[in-house]
Amino acid sequence: MWKRYVKKGLFCAVLIAGVMPGSVSAQVGVGVDIMSRYVWRGADFGNSPSIQPEITYSYRGLEIGSWAAVATTGNPDGYEVDWFASYTFGTGAGDLSLYLTDYTFPVPEAGGYFSSESHFLEAGVGISDIAGLPLDLFAGMFLTNDDDNSVYLEMAYNLEMISFHVGMTPGESAMYGTSGPAVINTGISAGKSVKISESFELGLSTSIILNPYSEDLFFLIGVSH
């Protein structure tokens, strides 16, 4: 599940509608997740509970935004600020999306935010609801600061309140810590919305994630708004 709302906690956005020229509606999404751990593609970042805010702007098939992770213990390994853009359009086989993500780790050891060594750019493509089935596919490749140009492939099957996914890298990758082709991210996630009042809801999510290659297992819980 490459979409941030899913892969990093079920994101519950507050939508602010704006009217654009031609009466086309744009939306700004604002939300925050509080997660027991920040686990990304089978790896733990920060070894700490994580606060993860996000803001997005959507217009027709275009979405741009920023997402961050902050380890509650102050662990710099769990500090990340990303920028991303995607464009989605319908095809006869499903919804096709193109992605570009700038993963940024603005720590002093890498020279801070404006150092090129802090930025890892990934291009990706995904297709969802394939042939009307709740099946999603994603492929991404790192373009900068990765000598291996690491590739990540993922398949997800999504039901109403639960989803299953499996992700792998097809070759040696220092980014993913593999010496060859390996399955690095498998799991099951579930979520639900809990109504607190007439105007306020919280999203609850839980995931069990196994990295078969590193033999790491994570049980995550999160709260979103």
Encode the chain (225 residues) as per-residue pLDDT tens digits.
Answer: 444 433 443 333 333 334 444 445 789 999 999 999 999 999 999 999 999 999 999 999 999 999 999 999 999 999 999 999 999 998 877 899 999 999 998 877 767 788 888 899 999 999 999 988 999 999 999 999 999 999 999 999 999 899 999 999 999 999 999 999 999 999 999 999 888 888 888 999 999 999 999 999 999 999 998
The pLDDT value given to residue 72? 95
Contact, 202 vs 224, CB < 8 A?
yes
Residue 147: alpha-carbon gap to chain centroid: 23
The structural architecture, per CATH, of the domain 4-224 is Beta Barrel (2.40)
The predicted structure's pLDDT at residue 215? 97
Query: What's the gap between Cα 216 and its chain centre?
Result: 19
pLDDT at residue 141, as a whole number:
98
**CB contact at 8 A, 12 and 31:** yes
CB 202 within 8 A of CB 225: yes
Domain ranges in the chain are: 4-224
User: Under DSSP, is residue 105 helix (H, G, I), strand (E, B) or coil?
Assistant: coil
**pTM, rounded to two decimals:** 0.86
DSSP H or E stretch at residue 7: helix 4-7
Tallying the residues shown for the chain, one arrives at 225
